[in-house]
Amino acid sequence: MLGGSAKIIKFRDGSDWEDTHTRVEIERGEAQQRRRLVNHHQTGIRNDSSHGSTDTGKWHEQQGITSPHVDPSRIGRHAEPLPPIATPPPASRDEGSYSDSANPMPGRATMPSHARTNLDHLAHAQASTVRYLREALQLQTDIDERFQLSQDVWRDEKAKRALLKDHVASITAIVKHISRELERVEQSVQERMMATHEAVAQLRMRQDAGLGRIGWTEAQQEHINASIREAVIGLQSVQGSHQVQHSGAQAEHTGSLSAARLAGLQDEQAALSTRLAGLEARLQQQQPAIHSAHDATSELERRLVHQELQSATTVEDLRRAVADQADRQVSALQALRDELSRQRREDQETAKAALDAGLDQLRQALQTRMDKFEQETRDELDRLVTEQRQQRATQDDTRSSLEAAIDKLRESMRNKVKALEKALIEAAETSTAISEVSDLRHQELNARLNKVP
């Protein structure tokens, strides 16, 4: 920053301050030139008092110095450097020359008090400027450190965002895995439901087959009952005919029927009895089968009803269990998804709040430091401007006093020159008169010598 490159610090109100080493060197050169000017006039006054006005006038004429007046507009904060002033001839060591090592500032012991005060103010202003330049450098270092801190915070936030992104990616993978598991569970539930429907269809087919067997058994029982009824009807008809024949036989017996007809009737009666006995035997044989068929039909009906009820209960329990399991899994997945979403939102809000707090803190610290620096800079600039104004006023006073002293010196030099010219004129007149007298004497002497024989 002090290598010669200009850097302008802009404030928020639009004002700027050229914080350059060149400006400090310019002011330092102006101060040195002003010191040389004061030393020159002081040396001129001492030379005039020690060597006379003639040597001082000749030295001024040799150096080409006509007037020590300096334009006040060229002296100031942004003034251009003055042209170099020729250094006067070195004086003796007792006059405070540059070669005097005991007095580091030439001519300071013989300067007026206001000139020394002005130089002290200039030295103090230079020291203050250097100090503020160092403070500006320190402030720039602090700003760089703050910027580096903000960069570190940004890198940490970037790492947190990367971790959050990885966390979200892992949560997304978990949710996808859970979705796949849910799809597999739903598929297994559907397979179980299909198996249940197939089992119910098989049960219904078995029930229909059982009902068919029951219908066939009932038809067989009806056939047997019809056969029994036909046998009973035939038996009753045979018994009726037998009674008719028996009554007729009795009537014929009473009517003295023949013995052959009676024997035929007895044979028919024996055959009928045999047939009745066979029918009764067959009826007795079919009676257990009929009872067993009836019992089997009743048992089959009861088993079919019980199996149907059991199948309906099993299907309902299975459907309810599958529905409950699906509801529990859906509820668990929804709760897990809500928990993951809430955790992700909380992590995002926490990270965002921490980042915002850090950025606000850094922004406030930077703003406070910049405001403080701006205020201190403005105060110091105002103080420097005030000091420069005071120094300018002091310089004007010094310049006025120096000009007055120089005017007095010139007036005394003019008077001395006039007196010298007058003395020279008188001396010339005296020498002319003397030369005329000597010529007259010489002429008289020549005349006397010519008169001698």
> What domains sit in the chain, N to C, each tagged with a CATH number?
8-159+368-412 (no CATH), 178-363 (1.10.287)
Share of the chain above pLDDT 70, in %: 64
Instruction: Work out the pLDDT band at 59, boundaries 50, 70, 90.
Output: very low
How far apart are alpha carbons 153 and 156 in whole angstroms? 5
Q: Is the pLDDT of residue 12 over 50?
A: no
For the cut 50, the answer to whether the pLDDT of residue 321 exceeds it is: yes
* pLDDT of 50: 46
Rounded Cα–Cα distance for residues 271 and 224 (Å): 24
Q: Flag whether pLDDT at 3 surpasses 60.
A: no
User: What pLDDT is attached to residue 38?
Assistant: 57
Q: What are phi and psi of 232, to 5 degrees?
A: -65, -40
Q: Which residues of 39-77 are buried (b: 16+ CB within 10 A; e: fewer)?
A: bbbbbbbbbbeeeebeebbebbeeeeeeebebeeeebee
Q: What's the mean pLDDT when you consider all of the chain?
A: 69
DSSP state of 74: G
* Beta strand 16-18 pairing with 8-10: antiparallel
At residue 414, the pLDDT reads: 83
pTM above 0.85, yes or no: no
**355 band by pLDDT with thresholds 50, 70 and 90:** confident
pLDDT for 181 equals: 81
Residue 421, pLDDT score: 81
Amino acid 90: pLDDT: 41
What is the rounded end-to-end Cα distance, in angstroms, of the chain? 105
pLDDT of residue 411: 86
| pLDDT tens per residue, range 42-58 | 555 444 444 444 444 44
Choice among 89-98, 290-299, 408-417 with the minimum mean pLDDT: 89-98
CB of 252 within 8 A of CB of 186?
no
The predicted pLDDT at position 415 comes to: 85
**242: confidence class by pLDDT, cuts 50, 70, 90:** low
How many angstroms separate the CA atoms of 24 and 30, rounded? Answer: 10
Per the CB < 8 A criterion, the answer to whether 391 and 122 are in contact is: yes
**Over the stretch 112-146, which tens digit does the pLDDT of each residue have?**
676 677 777 777 877 887 888 788 788 878 888 87
Q: Is the pLDDT of residue 395 over 60?
A: yes
Q: What is the pLDDT of residue 211?
A: 72
Q: What pLDDT, on a 0 to 100 scale, did the predictor assign at position 445?
A: 77
Residue appearing with tokens 């529990």: 328
Orientation angle between helical segments 259-451 and 21-51, nearest 10 degrees: 10
